[in-house]
Chain A
Amino acid sequence: MSVLVYIEPIKDKIKKAAIESVSYASQVAQLLNTSVTAIAFNASEETIKEISNVGAEKVLNISDSAITTINIKSLAKGVIAAAKEENVNVIIFSFDGSGQSVAPYVASNLKAGLVAGATELPKVEGNKLEVRKNVFSGKASAIYSIESAFKIISVMPNSIEIASNPKSAEVVAFAPSTDLKDGVQLKNFKVNDDVAHGGVPLPDAELVVSGGRGLKGPENWGIVEDLAHALGAATACSRPVADADWRPHHEHVGQTGLAIRPNLYIAIGISGAIQHLAGVNGSKTIVVINNDPEAPFFKNADYGIVGDAFSVVPKLTEAIKKIKAN
């Protein structure tokens, strides 16, 4: 009765969020005195090495190149087959694009209680698991009790420490007897312009530089991009900026955009409306640059500079470049 952890089909390199979920599963397994089995799809040797370094003792690997991250039903069926094969009753996912969609499909089939986006390790309470997750877009958190026999937790990326726990994983080629096919087909993949130009994808970014209406227009985004580039950060924006098409929709963060929790969030010319804060207040450190000392964001930041973005930001970029060059 091991703990099962889901590893999404990986295009290039395994993501930090996936390693976090394996480390989380390994810590849950310790609480329950058991071991960790991973269910993976088309996993490479490198992936297997990375996940065994953080506690996976067995890997059920489904080799089927027809299954990619778009095939939610196929992936769910694979996980369900693995859960039955291994007779598990706890399954861990990452609450990232893939895990957050596959987990409920699996939960439905197994009649499992699901906590989506856990931010801490669970507590064992008899037959139940209690675990905290954010609610009301980060304005609050709640402790959920999972009361069903089957239990599923997906882990909020960037919310737990990865603990090294090297194992030599046994790899099993897994071919479930059920038909895994589904009807969703990939016709094309368009790489976002910023990523095509070497930028960092926003959802996974550790460092984020974000701009608001204070930047006055899209033609001024150079200073935001230069700072992001100097730091190796992703770029983001407030809602009105995306609504006005100054920046693409996928950069919009906040209560009605993307919720992010990077290590560092630098907000430039953003007032700090409650809907904006809801998407970024999980960031570890917040730096605000705004020329209005009364901007609400200063009450929700760790560090602030009261000043004109057009003079402060280039100076900051230069200073960072100078240190990095040394």
Chain B
Amino acid sequence: MKILVPISQVPDTTAKISFTDNDTTLNTAGVSFIINPYDEWYALVRALELKETGKAEKVTLIHIGPAANDATIRKGLAIGADDAVRVEGEGDSSFVAAQIADYAKNNGYDLILLGKESISYNSAAIGGLIAGDLEWDFVPLATKLEINGDAATLEQDADGGVSELEAKLPLVVSCAKGMAEQRIANMRGIMAARTKPLQVINAVGPDTKLTTIKSYQATPGRTSCLIIPEDNIDQLVDILHTKVRAF
């Protein structure tokens, strides 16, 4: 059983977000980039655990983007993935998902594990798009995953509780908090990552975009905070009651 882990590259969580070119492009000045935390902390680490316990033979990273993103891919290799593929190209979610689906299908992957969403575009769409492209089953928002042969048992966050599920490979699973614990790459991993295979392939499929982004706008901050003295709680209660209508 081979696991494919798609990773996206996102601005560091502390990055201040601003735009250039008339608000059409992210201003990358001073922004450092990381692997999307859901992909790294949960999907990749769980994939590695499955390999370490003998449930999977191989864990491959896949990323769609330019050569400048190779450094981010190497970070994933340093954490422990066996090899990586970078698809040269850029596009919307449908384009990205089509590349991953195509690679998985042609290279015999049975399980695609990815984060529940990226912290850049927050669309939570790639998992469902890949599953749709491959016509595989899809378990989103999983917090536990065990594999036995071609059978998967999972837990999934649901409204007000946790669903315990069974499914069969091949499968797409999107991972949420609880799936695994973040791992920090050690020096040996970082050294090994330098020589692990990183294959670059060309994109497939349509170059027509289904969606485009016209412009961005930074979210305006809250302008002023009314500080209410501690001994005047009633003022806050009154605001919550009459203005916010909280009760």
- Looking at the assembled complex, report how far the CB atom of A23 sits from the nearest CB atom of chain B, in whole angstroms: 20
Which residue on A lies nearest to B169, using beta carbons? A183
Q: Cβ of B210: which chain A residues have Cβ within 8 Å of it?
A: 107, 111-114, 146-148
Q: Are B225 and A191 closer than 8 Å at their CB atoms?
A: no
- Cα–Cα, bound, A207→B167 (Å): 36
Q: Are B222 and A286 closer than 8 Å at their CB atoms?
A: yes
A109 within 8 A of partner (CB): yes
A106 within 8 A of partner (CB): yes
Q: Are B156 and A70 closer than 8 Å at their CB atoms?
A: yes
- Looking at the assembled complex, report how far the CB atom of B40 sits from the nearest CB atom of chain A, in whole angstroms: 10
With contacts A72-B140, A203-B159, A303-B239 known, is A114 near B97, CB below 8 A?
no
Q: Are B138 and A73 closer than 8 Å at their CB atoms?
A: yes
- Cα–Cα, bound, A316→B232 (Å): 10
Interface stretch of the complex, out of A39-47, A51-59, A131-139, A158-166: A131-139
- Cα–Cα, bound, A287→B16 (Å): 23
Q: Are B122 and A259 closer than 8 Å at their CB atoms?
A: yes
Q: Are A116 and B214 closer than 8 Å at their CB atoms?
A: no
B127 within 8 A of partner (CB): yes
- Which applies to chain A's interface (DSSP): helix, strand, loop or mixed? mixed
Interface stretch of the complex, out of B49-57, B78-86, B129-137: B129-137
Q: Are A139 and B17 closer than 8 Å at their CB atoms?
A: yes
Q: Are A72 and B122 closer than 8 Å at their CB atoms?
A: no
Q: Cβ of A114: which chain B residues have Cβ within 8 Å of it?
A: 93-94, 123, 125, 129, 210-211
B184 within 8 A of partner (CB): no
- Which size bracket describes the interface of B in this complex? 35 or more
Q: Are B124 and A101 closer than 8 Å at their CB atoms?
A: yes
With contacts A104-B93, A116-B125, A286-B222 known, is A142 near B131, CB below 8 A?
no
Q: Cβ of A130: which chain B residues have Cβ within 8 Å of it?
A: 214
Which residues 285-306 in A have Cβ within 8 Å of B in the complex?
A: 285-288, 298-306
- Which size bracket describes the interface of A in this complex? 35 or more
Q: Are A103 and B230 closer than 8 Å at their CB atoms?
A: no
With contacts A117-B122, A140-B218, A144-B212 known, is A184 near B143, CB below 8 A?
no
Which residues 128-168 in B have Cβ within 8 Å of A in the complex?
A: 128-133, 135-141, 143, 153, 156-168
Q: Are A108 and B237 closer than 8 Å at their CB atoms?
A: no
B20 within 8 A of partner (CB): no
A241 within 8 A of partner (CB): no
Q: Are B17 and A305 closer than 8 Å at their CB atoms?
A: no
- Cα–Cα, bound, A263→B240 (Å): 11
Q: Are B128 and A298 closer than 8 Å at their CB atoms?
A: no
Q: Cβ of B167: which chain A residues have Cβ within 8 Å of it?
A: 183-185
Q: Are A70 and B165 closer than 8 Å at their CB atoms?
A: yes
Among A101, A140, A192, point to the contact of B217 (Cβ < 8 A). A140
Q: Are B164 and A190 closer than 8 Å at their CB atoms?
A: yes
Q: Are A97 and B212 closer than 8 Å at their CB atoms?
A: no
Q: Cβ of B244: which chain A residues have Cβ within 8 Å of it?
A: 263-264, 284-285
- Looking at the assembled complex, report how far the CB atom of B42 sits from the nearest CB atom of chain A, in whole angstroms: 10
Q: Are B225 and A299 closer than 8 Å at their CB atoms?
A: yes
With contacts A105-B131, A112-B210, A264-B246 known, is A185 near B165, CB below 8 A?
yes
Q: Are B225 and A320 closer than 8 Å at their CB atoms?
A: no
- Looking at the assembled complex, report how far the CB atom of B138 sits from the nearest CB atom of chain A, in whole angstroms: 4
- Cα–Cα, bound, A302→B244 (Å): 11
With contacts A97-B141, A142-B217 known, is A76 near B132, CB below 8 A?
yes
Q: Are A135 and B122 closer than 8 Å at their CB atoms?
A: yes
Interface stretch of the complex, out of A82-90, A210-218, A249-257: A249-257
Q: Cβ of B122: which chain A residues have Cβ within 8 Å of it?
A: 116-117, 133-137, 259
Q: Cβ of B19: which chain A residues have Cβ within 8 Å of it?
A: 140
Q: Are A108 and B132 closer than 8 Å at their CB atoms?
A: yes
Q: Are B247 and A324 closer than 8 Å at their CB atoms?
A: yes
- Cα–Cα, bound, A155→B245 (Å): 24
Q: Cβ of A140: which chain B residues have Cβ within 8 Å of it?
A: 17, 19, 216-219
B226 within 8 A of partner (CB): yes
- Looking at the assembled complex, report how far the CB atom of B219 sits from the nearest CB atom of chain A, in whole angstroms: 6
Which residue on A lies nearest to B135, using beta carbons? A73
Q: Are A304 and B226 closer than 8 Å at their CB atoms?
A: yes
A65 within 8 A of partner (CB): no
- Cα–Cα, bound, A115→B239 (Å): 36
Q: Are A136 and B94 closer than 8 Å at their CB atoms?
A: no
Which residue on A lies nearest to B170, using beta carbons? A183
Q: Are A307 and B227 closer than 8 Å at their CB atoms?
A: no
- Cα–Cα, bound, A204→B158 (Å): 11
Q: Are A187 and B120 closer than 8 Å at their CB atoms?
A: no
Q: Cβ of B164: which chain A residues have Cβ within 8 Å of it?
A: 186-190
Q: Are B177 and A72 closer than 8 Å at their CB atoms?
A: no
Counting from the closest, the 10 A-B pairs by CB-CB distance are: A108-B132, A104-B128, A113-B210, A116-B123, A307-B230, A195-B160, A105-B132, A201-B160, A113-B211, A104-B125
- Extra inter-chain contacts (6) besides given A136-B120, A142-B217, A278-B13, CB under 8 Å: A69-B158, A76-B132, A114-B129, A143-B213, A231-B247, A320-B240
A-B residue pairs in contact (CB < 8 Å), sample of 30: A15-B159, A76-B128, A100-B125, A104-B123, A107-B94, A107-B129, A113-B94, A114-B129, A135-B122, A136-B122, A139-B16, A139-B219, A141-B219, A142-B215, A142-B217, A184-B137, A187-B166, A192-B160, A192-B161, A204-B159, A207-B246, A256-B13, A256-B177, A263-B245, A285-B244, A287-B240, A303-B236, A304-B227, A316-B237, A320-B237
